[in-house]
Copies of this chain bind each other. A is one copy, B any other.
Amino acid sequence: MSARAPEDYNPSDYPPFGVAVDLCVFTLHNGVFSILLVERAEEPYAGDWALPGGFVGAYEDAMQAAWRELTEETGVERFPGHLEQLKTYTAPERDPRMRVVSVAHVALAPNLPTPRAGSDAKNARWWAVDDLGTEDGPTLAFDHEEIVVDAIERVRSKIEYTTLATQFTPEPFTMSDLHRVYTAVWGFPPDLPNLQRKVQSTPGMVVATDETADTGKRGPRPRLYRRGDATAIHPPLMRSDQRRADEG
């Protein structure tokens, strides 16, 4: 991956860089934990799938650039979810055209619409996270596979110790909705009664409304909740045994 330096290379050779933001936008699409990818129309990696993103402008920081790209790429007026910086990828040859570093971000939102393919002549769609890396899944451009792997792990672990799971479901929501979020993101169902106990005993994670939902299905009408002010779950809500893949 690393480029070979010429013989007369002096490490105080500081080239100009392009600085880009890349976005790992996650949602629950038809209940399936999914990520937004765009199909590349041009070389390099034409036909492969890439993270949406773009360059940081002269008068904005990376976060502003990410918000800007987010509304452009998802086609929503005001992106209704959460955005945070993930990590910066800087391998010298990550883009064969020029030296560019990518400040990757993670975004979460409920129920985003299927992106309009025609907006800028790029094909864009949701991919099930579970299909990535399989033969049903996309081939990823650049170092985007590495970025996506990091992003998925970030989301899966961050809903353990923060209230971010509530960002995946529109308000108001039921406890079953939240349970579906955890199940979709983690890939296995936590115990619903215990989840409910934990969520409700975390001050400020959710706020009960006095309304109930009409699910159309039989059974009692479930209570509706809204997001609270709290950001942390303490102590965390853990995916115990299922968790054998550790990070540093």
Contact = CB atoms under 8 A, between A and B. Distances in A.
Interface of A: 2-5, 9, 11-19, 55-64, 68, 84-85, 87-88, 90-92, 99, 101, 103, 162, 231-232, 234-236, 238, 243, 246-248
Task: Count copies of this chain in the complex.
Answer: 2
17 contacts: A2-B61, A2-B64, A3-B59, A5-B59, A9-B57, A9-B58, A11-B57, A12-B57, A14-B18, A16-B16, A60-B92, A61-B91, A61-B92, A63-B90, A85-B87, A101-B101, A101-B103
Contacts of A87: 85
Contacts of A248: 84, 162, 231-232
Contact of A85 (B5, B88, B92): B88
B19 A57 contact: no
Contacts of A17: 16-19, 56
A56 to B, nearest CB: 7
Nearest to A238: B235
Given A59-B9, A247-B232, A90 B3 contact: no
What 7 A-B pairs are tightest by C-beta distance, nearest first? Answer: A16-B16, A5-B59, A14-B55, A62-B90, A232-B246, A88-B88, A61-B90
A100 to B, nearest CB: 10
A4 to B, nearest CB: 7
A107 to B, nearest CB: 14
Contacts of A2: 59-61, 64
Contacts of A247: 231-232
A121 B47 CA distance: 53
A59 B4 contact: yes
Contacts of A246: 231-232, 234
A242 to B, nearest CB: 12
Contacts of A15: 58
A103 B86 CA distance: 12
